[in-house]
Amino acid sequence: MERFFEVFKKDLETERLELRILEQNAENAKLVWNVLKTQKMSDFQYAPMTDDILPKSLEETCDIMKRQNQWCETNGVNWYIFYKNNLIGYQRIHYWENIKTVQCADVWIVRQFQGNGFNQEIHKKIEELAFDQLDANRICRQCMKDNKKSFNSIIKSGFHLDGIDRQSVIGPDGSYMDHCHFSKLKSEYIK
Ligand SMILES: CC(C)(COP(=O)(O)OP(=O)(O)OC[C@H]1O[C@@H](n2cnc3c(N)ncnc32)[C@H](O)[C@@H]1OP(=O)(O)O)[C@@H](O)C(=O)NCCC(=O)NCCS
């Protein structure tokens, strides 16, 4: 795991974005809460952060951030995405060293900044580091089948749809959702 943390556990830059690892503290939680409180629940229906989809308070935002950091302790990294010094999103990845696989998780970009190719830009960077520096063999990504924006974004990044787990997730409204699994192999990676 040492190499994974060496390559990924730091602030990163893409053409237009900064990916920053934020310390877990009250000031940063406030920064995240100030952004999330402006978002619409309907935009996050396929990527709920809580039973109510979005946090309803600063305290809840703090709990989410703590939880995400805990998930990263053994094999993950969490970044907050900044554009022109403004917080606009989030991305987490995990590494399964035994199968040389990077797993991407829980990306979000605030609605005002969607449609600019930012998600694809973030993943281009992850691919570059995973395949060129970490020597991973595979990157996997997932989304709900009805999450058209996410589905299209993953396909546009050149990922292969490996399969769909039918009705394997229950959404916040109690409905069953189909979960899609995608991957890109090192042999398919185009710089
Ligand atoms: C899914 C999500 C992360 C996609 O973010 P995004 O930054 O808009 O996605 P992309 O990087 O793929 O950008 C897509 C659009 O930008 C356009 N675009 C503009 N400039 C571009 C550029 N320089 N490069 C590439 N695409 C560009 C593309 O044409 C595309 O438009 P289209 O969807 O009309 O075809 C975002 O919709 C989101 O946060 N949703 C809510 C949370 C969520 O569901 N997360 C995913 C959980 S699996």
Per-residue pLDDT of 148-160, as tens digits, reads 999 999 999 999 9
Measure the CA dihedral 178/184/188/190, to 10°. 110
Residue with CA closest to ligand 1 atom 13 = 117
pTM for this model (two decimals): 0.96
Q: Is the pLDDT of residue 67 over 90?
A: yes
Q: C-alpha dihedral over 89, 19, 14, 71, to 10 degrees?
A: -90
CATH (domain of 48): 3.40.630.30
Ligand 1 pocket test target in 150, 154, 169, 179 with most atoms within 8 Å of CB: 150
**Are 4 and 97 in contact, with CB atoms under 8 Å apart?**
yes
Which pLDDT band holds residue 191 (cuts at 50, 70, 90)? Answer: confident
Q: Are 121 and 157 in contact (CB under 8 A)?
A: no
Partners of 78 in the beta sheet?
92
* Ligand 1 atom showing the smallest separation from residue 141 Cα: 48
Return d(Cα 124, Cα 157) in angstroms, integer. 8
Structural domains in the chain (count): 1
Given this model, what pLDDT does residue 24 score? 87
User: Which residue's CA is the closest to the ligand 1 atom numbered 16?
Assistant: 115
Quote the domain boundaries for residue 106.
2-188
